[in-house]
Amino acid sequence: MDPDERYIPRSGPMFNARSLAKAEMATDLAIPLLADGGWSAVTLRTVAAAANVTPQAIAAWFPSVTAMRRAIAERYGNRWVDERRAVASRRLVRTARPASVDSARSQVALALLPGTWPEEVFDGIWLTVAEAGRWDEVTGLVVAAVQERERDVVAELLEEQLCDFPSFPEGMGEQRFEQHVDLVLALVRGLRVARTASHARMDADRAAVVLDGGLSGAT
């Protein structure tokens, strides 16, 4: 991609600019900060500067920086899951019905990966939040809840792709289906990291090849 085409989105479906809820407004303000500087860049002072108000004004919205970051992580994570589901659903509608379980898994995984530069930015921001959750217990609880929603989305999309198969769902069995979900989710999460890496980023074509090889004939 031409470096001139790379930018930090400041509007669009991942924003909720019409909401007057303080947590939603703070999330809108935090998105560019997260994209530019990571989790540590989100402070009362930086959010206040983005809003063109004093830090005291932002402090009046939240009892602490921790509370503000928790609210931002929760709102952003839920927006991100909703947008991933919406984009993937649109892509799958335009995709031919799968001829096998292998192709259904590949289609779902590919539909959930970022396909545009803004999607890469938003996925990268979520990975930043998820990484913060590894050492911040409060954020970690939020991340765990969002990841559970992400798993539900994978299961929902995969079930839709497999609904026409004679062996689904009775013939496949719940345990077998859950294994398919886990496999797709694991590959999507790994490839998402590769697609949004700051260096040696994996392009969409390579990701598709990996999916074909990683999901064909897998358990």
Q: What is the pLDDT of residues 120-155, one digit of tens each?
A: 999 999 999 999 999 999 999 999 999 999 999 999
**Of 153, 166, 152, 158, nearest to 103 (Cα)?**
158
Query: Which residue numbers in the chain have pLDDT < 70?
Result: 1-5, 166-172, 199-200, 213-219
Fold of 3-215: Tetracycline Repressor; domain 2 (1.10.357)
Q: Give the model's pLDDT for residue 210.
A: 73
d(C-alpha 146, C-alpha 81), whole Å: 7
Cα–Cα distance list, 168 to 18, 125, 147, 184 (Å): 42, 36, 25, 17
The helix/strand/coil state of 29 is: helix
Q: What is the pLDDT of residue 166?
A: 63
pTM above 0.85, yes or no: yes
**Amino acid 218: pLDDT:** 59
How far is 104 from 165, CA to CA, in rounded Å? 10
pLDDT value of position 4: 47
Structure tokens at 190: 């790994």
Omega prior to 169 cis, within 30 of 0: yes
Domain boundaries, the chain: 3-215
Which segments of 99-203 does DSSP mark as H helices, in order? 101-112, 117-135, 137-162, 174-195
